[in-house]
């Protein structure tokens, strides 16, 4: 079968994780890609990366690599990123959640997966469960967004910001500045208390130069992918075991963790010092926290 020009271009992007993978058609009809290893016999794990200027499945690579020795593991590039279709038009948090719900349903076997998500990806996973009935055995949220006492900009403000970014190619030109090595190192530096892993920087440089790489990041920068009052509309509606791993994060804050002090299905574990990527800075400690949590589920 002859590959379309778009798929051919996507294939040119190097693998984020050294393992098998495949393209599949997402719920909204776009070509999506996920990395997987199905040799493990224990309950499957699904990894959901964050949303920013240069995200991909590589963000959760240390955990994927660890768990593949015992579990079936799946790590998609979300729509608009990595090897998945980049130019997908306007996408909403519900669209992302719907795609994630479909991915969870597509995982082979009868056992629902444990899900590990990062930052804004946590909001999408929560919505996949609360709004689309996705089944999961447990959730692990790493430095999740949506717990700040400060609310995201209103829809009116988002619309104005989107208009500014779309004006005369301003957003696209801004993205060209964001994808330079200097900028990528600067923004990753905000999330690491120590040395920035070179493989993250190298892959970000590659993925941000793919055709239409600016499309979804500009939607993110307009703040339209965040949920208003995620605590009450999403997180408080979860009735399964949830582990939150955190420390400090320059991009999000956690004042509303206090709302869950009496909720027995929620656990909070601090891995320090870290700034949003504890699974890279302290992989063994992060893995130990997750394994302990799984043993209790």
Which structural domains are found in the chain, ordered by start? 5-296 (3.40.50.1820)
Rg (alpha carbons) of the chain, rounded to whole number: 18
Pair of tokens at residue 45? 């794990």
Instruction: Give SS3 for 79.
Output: coil
Region 4-15: mean pLDDT is: 61
Q: Is residue 110 exposed (0-12), middle (13-18) or buried (19+ Cβ within 10 Å)?
A: exposed
Return the pLDDT at 152: 66
What's the rounded Cα separation, in Å, for the pair 86 and 78? 9
Across 25-29, 225-229, 261-265, least confident range:
25-29
Give the C-alpha distances (Å, rounded to integers) separating 264 from 231, 236, 242, 267: 16, 12, 9, 8
Return the pLDDT at 95: 97
Pair of tokens at residue 151? 């609310």
Phi, psi of 114 (to 5 degrees): -80, 140
Express each pLDDT in 62-112 by its tens digit: 999 999 999 999 999 999 999 999 999 889 999 999 999 999 999 999 999
Length reported for the chain: 297
Hey, which residues does 46 pair with through a beta bridge? 74, 115
Half-sphere exposure of 23 (CA within 13 A, CB side): 15
Q: In what order do the strands lie in the sheet with 71-77?
A: 20-25, 31-37, 71-77, 42-48, 114-118, 138-142, 242-246, 266-270
Tell me: pLDDT of 224 over 60.
yes
- Give the residue from 102, 45, 33 showing the smallest Cα distance to 72: 45
| CB 245, CB 140: distance < 8 Å | yes
Return the pLDDT at 221: 78
Maximum C-alpha span of the chain: 57
Tell me: pLDDT of 171 over 80.
no
| CB 223, CB 161: distance < 8 Å | yes
How many other CB atoms are found less than 10 A from the CB of residue 233? Answer: 16
Tell me: pLDDT of 186 over 60.
yes
Pair of tokens at residue 171? 């957003």
Tell me: pLDDT of 272 over 70.
yes
Strands (DSSP E) found in the chain: 20-25, 31-37, 42-48, 71-77, 114-118, 138-142, 242-246, 266-270
């Amino acid at each position: 079968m002859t590959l379309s020009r778009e798929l051919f271009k996507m294939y040119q992007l190097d693998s984020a994780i050294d393992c098998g993978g495949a393209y599949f058609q997402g719920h909204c009809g776009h070509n999506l890609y996920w990395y997987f290893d199905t040799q493990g016999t224990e309950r499957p794990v699904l990894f959901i990366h964050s949303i920013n200027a240069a995200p991909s499945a590589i963000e959760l690579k240390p955990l994927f690599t660890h768990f593949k020795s015992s579990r079936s593991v799946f790590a998609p590039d979300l729509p608009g990123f990595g090897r998945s279709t980049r130019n997908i038009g306007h996408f909403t948090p519900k669209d992302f959640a719907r795609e994630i719900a479909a991915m969870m349903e597509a995982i082979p076997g009868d056992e629902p997966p444990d899900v590990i998500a990062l930052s804004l990806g946590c909001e999408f996973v929560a919505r996949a469960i609360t709004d689309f009935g996705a089944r999961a055995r447990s959730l692990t949220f790493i430095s999740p967004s949506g717990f700040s006492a400060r609310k995201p900009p209103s829809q009116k403000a988002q619309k104005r910001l989107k208009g500014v970014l779309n004006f005369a190619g301003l957003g696209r030109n801004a993205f060209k500045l964001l994808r330079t090595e200097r900028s990528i190192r600067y923004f990753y530096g905000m999330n690491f208390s120590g040395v920035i892993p070179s493989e993250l920087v190298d892959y970000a440089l590659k993925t941000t130069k793919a055709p239409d790489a600016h499309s979804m990041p500009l939607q993110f920068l307009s703040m339209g992918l965040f949920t208003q009052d995620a605590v009450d509309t999403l997180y408080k509606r979860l009735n399964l075991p949830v582990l939150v791993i955190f420390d400090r994060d320059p991009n999000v804050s956690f004042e509303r963790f206090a709302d869950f002090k009496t909720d027995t299905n929620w656990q909070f574990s601090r891995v320090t010092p870290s700034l949003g990527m504890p699974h890279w800075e302290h992989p063994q400690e992060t893995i130990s926290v997750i394994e302990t949590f799984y043993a209790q589920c």
